[in-house]
């Protein structure tokens, strides 16, 4: 049998890798170990290689971050998807420990039939546990549950110094805080131990409410917050092409698990986008049409009971949906704005977007709560978060993104590294005042294109 | 159906891991055999976390044909008689090296054909009368026609196919079921040296096809199914065409 170890010791050929935004393919030496000992050997090996003239390393999960937090041009990329074993599952207490390359997709297949769900889930299940920790992802229940990191009990970290560490709020607490949301820069996350949330069925009741404008959003969102856990999951879709009195119009959706309906797991994606959509499909007219149809589609409003898959992961039904943005790829803007300024700032962001006429298909707005994970670089904070995507149309798109970023910064908000491609070092420092603590604890042999961009550190 | 005893020979292989994972939620008991204890342990924990009733491990070099019967007897005592066996170990080998170095060629044939055939014979010999036994053996589409690029590996896999066909014939009417699994390209560490294209299937896909072939009691399964079409064409290409092809 060919052994993996012999291959990992060589520097592999360069292959091109792109992140989810697909704006350009970047050459990397790709390693894909199947066992943790091979993975840690590769991290240690990066040390040896560097003392010569070798390239530094970065862990890469399923490549669902949009910009460059998962890229390391001309360096090594350690792809973790084969490191996906469960290590322990206590189905009575709802605690699971698994290798960090396990996807939420696969984890759900194991835990749902036994009456457990993810305590926090992002809008796609195709992310790894390691990626969820490194980006400290959030979900529709942020106001109640906080971010993913809140539910991480412990995690394993291997550093290029050769140390194998267990991190938690009690043990190596400083490094734990630097690793949750730490963008994979503090070492290789080898395993994650997570508290799960109990469910009685895998179905949710969803109520969809029309929102005529931005005030309508804040009214219903705040009312739903006050109702506490009655509706723990909330999100709004906003028609970002609407302006004037209709600015901020959209649909507000709130959901809760129901007690009956069985514990069926999700199925595989139904359709896959086979090729890049041609660029001419992505114009103001098609987006306007899409936004109008989405808002006015039959049965959009009212209450219904559905499986968790369409509620939490609507885009997962279309494999490779990012190809719909065409060959040039797309940008995403996601920011969070603290409460006192939230409403006015979101208004300005939407006005700026509508005026630029570069609107996106799906714009998402929701409130975030104040339950913080200990992550020093965690994105979520109490306020309102807005996510918009834009097909890459060159300088005009970049200019718009920078204008949006400036508006966010002025209001004391910040951008989400997992989605970002335009943040300047000044914006990063302003948004993440604790960044230097992470810089001090960073593994010197690990590097990402994002980190180089926002710190100006050399390779 | 009561939970099964499943013996996995070559349990560290990517296809075997995917197969065992799909069987685990039914509460099966596993005996995982491979060469590397440090690799078998995390695989066993994974299966238990996924619902397996148990996952024991045993370290063995499966190519050691002299030890086969002793090992089987020992496992039988500690683990019980298997209801289902997956034989998944193997090596892709290197055609060019095999032509230069006869030791490498002989080893490829001994591992890929002789040792597997001996395991099958030993398992059948040890079976109690009337005890059901399912054997799933990983062959390859490479065994369907001798080709310049890998005929040593291909001949071992092709010979295995003939052998298993005979075993099936000999056991017609008994509760013995043998399925030859013929994967095409699979995205595993074994094929990491090859450029990976759209014809590569995931180990999960292959494992699902194995489970389904066992349930449907098929003799041969191509996985994914389109390899049946491809290999039917390749098998039937007339010689004057085939000899000019670089495959």
DSSP characters over B201-221:
BPHHHHHHHHHHHHHTT-SEE
Report, in angstroms and rounded to the nearest whole number, the Rg of chain A calculated over CA atoms.
Answer: 21
Chain segment B167-201, per-residue pLDDT in tens? 999 999 999 999 999 999 999 988 887 888 888 99
| ipTM associated with this complex | 0.90
pLDDT mean across residues, chain B: 94
> What is the reported pLDDT for B2?
67
Closest partner residue to A2 (CB to CB) among B42, B46, B92 is B92
User: Which residue would you say has higher pLDDT here, B46 or A301?
Assistant: B46
> What is the reported pLDDT for A3?
34
In A340-422 the beta strands, taken as DSSP E runs, fall at: 363-368, 383-391, 414-415
> What is the reported pLDDT for A54?
58
Secondary-structure breakdown of chain B: helix, strand, coil percentages, each rounded to the nearest 5: 50, 15, 30
Non-local CB neighbours of A189 within 8 Å, separated by 6+ positions: A59, A100, A129, A130, A133, A134, A155, A156, A157, A179
- pLDDT over 90 at A47, yes or no: no
> What is the reported pLDDT for A107?
98
Domain A203-431 CATH assignment equals 3.30.70.2520: yes
Nearest Cα residue to B7 out of B70, B78, B63, B67? B78
> What is the reported pLDDT for A12?
61
Over residues A334-341, the mean pLDDT reads 96
Over residues A290-299, the mean pLDDT reads 72
Chain segment A403-445, per-residue pLDDT in tens? 999 999 999 999 999 999 999 999 999 999 999 999 999 999 9
Q: Strands B54-59, A233-238: parallel, antiparallel or unpaired by DSSP?
A: unpaired
Taking an 8 Å cut-off on Cβ atoms, the answer to whether B14 and A99 are in contact is: no
> Catalytic residue at B89?
no
Fold type of domain B5-242 = Rossmann fold (3.40.50)
B203 — contact with chain A (CB < 8 Å)?
Answer: no
Taking an 8 Å cut-off on Cβ atoms, the answer to whether B49 and A89 are in contact is: yes
**Helix ranges restricted to H, A52-210:** 104-111, 129-134, 142-145, 173-179
> What is the reported pLDDT for A51?
54
> What is the reported pLDDT for A48?
61
Q: How many CB pairs under 8 A join A and B?
A: 50
> What is the reported pLDDT for B194?
80
- What does the domain layout of chain A look like in residue ranges? 203-431
Distance CA A242, CA A357 (A): 10
Over residues A213-240, the mean pLDDT reads 94
Closest partner residue to B49 (CB to CB) among A7, A35, A87 is A87
The whole-angstrom distance between B243's CA and the closest CA on chain A is 30
- pLDDT over 90 at A328, yes or no: no
Interface of B with A in 72-111 (CB under 8 A): 89-92
> What is the reported pLDDT for A52?
52
> What is the reported pLDDT for A50?
52
Over residues A251-258, the mean pLDDT reads 96
> How many DSSP H helices and E strands does chain A contain?
14, 21
Please report which confidence band the pLDDT of residue A112 belongs to, taking 50, 70 and 90 as the band edges: very high
Closest partner residue to A85 (CB to CB) among B13, B25, B46 is B46
Q: Is the dihedral of CA A197, A202, A205, A211 positive or negative?
A: positive
**Any bridge partners for residue A367, and if so which?**
A384
Over residues B59-75, the mean pLDDT reads 97
> What is the reported pLDDT for A280?
64
- Closest-approach residue (CA) in chain A for B198: A274
> What is the reported pLDDT for B92?
78
- pLDDT over 90 at A268, yes or no: no
Spell out which residues of chain A touch residue B42, defining contact as CB-CB under 8 Å.
35-36, 85, 87, 99
Distance CA B91, CA B153 (A): 8
Q: For A251-260, A292-301, A373-382, A426-435, which range has the lowest pLDDT when averaged over its residues?
A: A292-301
The whole-angstrom distance between B135's CA and the closest CA on chain A is 22
């Amino acid at each position: 049998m060919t052994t993996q170890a012999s291959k990992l010791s060589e520097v592999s050929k360069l292959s091109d890798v792109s992140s989810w935004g697909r704006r350009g393919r970047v050459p990397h030496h790709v390693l894909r170990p199947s066992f943790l000992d091979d993975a840690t050997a590769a991290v240690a090996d990066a040390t040896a290689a560097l003392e010569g003239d070798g390239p530094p390393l970065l862990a890469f999960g399923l490549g669902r971050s949009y910009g460059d937090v998962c890229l390391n041009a001309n360096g090594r990329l350690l792809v973790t998807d084969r490191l996906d074993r469960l290590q322990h599952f206590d189905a009575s207490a709802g605690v699971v420990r698994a290798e960090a390359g396990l996807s939420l997709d696969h984890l759900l297949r194991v835990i749902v039939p036994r009456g457990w769900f993810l305590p926090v889930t992002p809008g796609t299940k195709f992310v790894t546990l390691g990626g969820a920790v490194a980006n400290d992802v959030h979900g529709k229940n942020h106001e109640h549950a906080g971010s993913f990191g809140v539910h991480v009990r412990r995690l394993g970290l291997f550093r290029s110094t050769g140390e194998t560490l267990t991190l938690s709020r009690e043990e190596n607490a400083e490094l734990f805080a630097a690793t949750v949301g730490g963008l994979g820069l503090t070492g290789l996350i080898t395993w994650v131990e997570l508290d799960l949330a109990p469910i009685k069925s895998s179905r949710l009741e969803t109520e969809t409410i029309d929102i005529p404008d931005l005030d309508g959003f804040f009214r219903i969102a705040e009312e739903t917050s006050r109702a506490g856990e009655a509706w723990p999951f909330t999100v709004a879709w906003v028609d970002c092409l609407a302006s004037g009195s209709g600015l901020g119009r959209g649909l507000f959706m709130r959901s809760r698990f129901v007690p009956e309906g069985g514990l069926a797991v999700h199925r595989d994606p139904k359709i896959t986008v086979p090729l890049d959509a041609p660029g001419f499909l992505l114009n103001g007219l098609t987006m306007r049409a899409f936004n109008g149809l989405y808002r006015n589609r039959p049965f959009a409003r009212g209450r219904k009971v559905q499986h968790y898959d369409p509620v939490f992961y609507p885009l997962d039904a279309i494999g490779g949906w990012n190809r719909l943005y065409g060959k040039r790829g797309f940008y995403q803007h996601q920011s969070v704005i603290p409460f006192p300024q939230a409403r006015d700032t979101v208004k300005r962001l939407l006005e700026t977007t509508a005026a630029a006429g570069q609107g996106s298909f799906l714009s998402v707005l929701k409130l975030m709560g104040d339950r913080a994970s200990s992550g020093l670089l965690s994105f979520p904070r109490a306020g309102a978060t807005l996510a918009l995507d834009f097909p890459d149309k060159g300088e005009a798109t970049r200019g718009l993104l920078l204008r949006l970023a400036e508006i966010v910064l002025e209001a004391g908000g910040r951008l989400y590294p997992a989605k970002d491609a335009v943040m300047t070092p000044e914006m990063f420092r302003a948004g993440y005042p604790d960044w230097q603590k992470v810089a001090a604890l960073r593994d010197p042999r690990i590097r990402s294109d994002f980190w180089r961009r926002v710190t100006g550190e050399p390779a | 159906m009561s939970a099964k005893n499943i013996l996995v020979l070559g349990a560290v292989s990517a296809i075997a891991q995917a197969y065992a994972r799909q069987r685990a939620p039914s509460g099966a008991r596993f005996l995982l055999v491979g060469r590397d204890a440090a690799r078998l342990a995390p695989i066993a924990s994974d299966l238990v976390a996924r619902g397996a009733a148990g996952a024991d491990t045993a370290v063995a070099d499966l190519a050691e044909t002299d030890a086969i019967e002793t090992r089987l007897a020992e496992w039988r005592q500690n683990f019980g008689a298997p209801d289902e066996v997956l034989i998944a170990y193997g090596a892709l080998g290197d055609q060019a090296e095999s032509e230069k170095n006869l030791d490498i060629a002989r080893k490829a044939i001994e591992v890929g054909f002789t040792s597997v055939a001996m395991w099958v014979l030993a398992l059948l010999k040890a079976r109690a009368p009337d005890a059901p036994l399912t054997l799933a053996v990983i062959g390859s589409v490479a065994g369907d026609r001798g080709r310049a690029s890998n005929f040593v590996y291909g001949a071992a896999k092709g010979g295995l196919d003939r052998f298993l066909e005979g075993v099936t014939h000999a056991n017609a009417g008994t509760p013995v079921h043998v399925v030859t699994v013929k994967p095409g390209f699979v995205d595993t560490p074994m094929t990491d040296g090859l450029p990976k294209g759209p014809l590569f299937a995931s180990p999960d896909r292959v494992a699902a096809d194995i489970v389904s072939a066992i349930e449907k009691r098929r003799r041969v399964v191509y996985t994914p199914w389109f390899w049946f079409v491809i290999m039917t064409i390749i098998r039937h290409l007339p010689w004057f065409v085939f000899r000019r092809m670089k495959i």
